Amino acid sequence: MPTLNYLKLINDTLINYYSDSQNKDEKKILKHNIIKEVLNIERCFEKITKEEAIGILKDLGISKDKLENVYQEVLQSQM
């Protein structure tokens, strides 16, 4: 079951990947830093819309067929 901490780890990994000199992508670094701020808000998935949460999960690389399940699991884990 993916947890919020797991999503934070994925996001941190992506920030590091896009910060690497060979893969440098300022736009993606900025996007993932914003995602990092959102994920650090207590009970963040309850405070944003489902569409926004799904968008974050897509940006983190969660596959389309697992988006709904991961969203529900993370939401449940925050309760």
pLDDT tens, position by position, 9-66 = 999 999 999 998 787 999 999 999 999 999 999 999 999 999 999 999 999 999 999 9
The rounded distance, in Å, linking the Cα atoms of 25 and 53 is 23
pLDDT band per the 50, 70, 90 thresholds, residue 8: very high
Q: How far apart are the first and last CA of the chain?
A: 15
Domain that includes residue 31, residue range: 4-78
Which pTM does this prediction carry?
0.91
pLDDT at 61: 96
pLDDT digits (tens, 9 = 90+) for 54-78: 999 999 999 999 999 999 999 998 7
pLDDT at 1: 65
- The count of structural domains within the chain is 1
Tokens representing 17? Answer: 């990947």
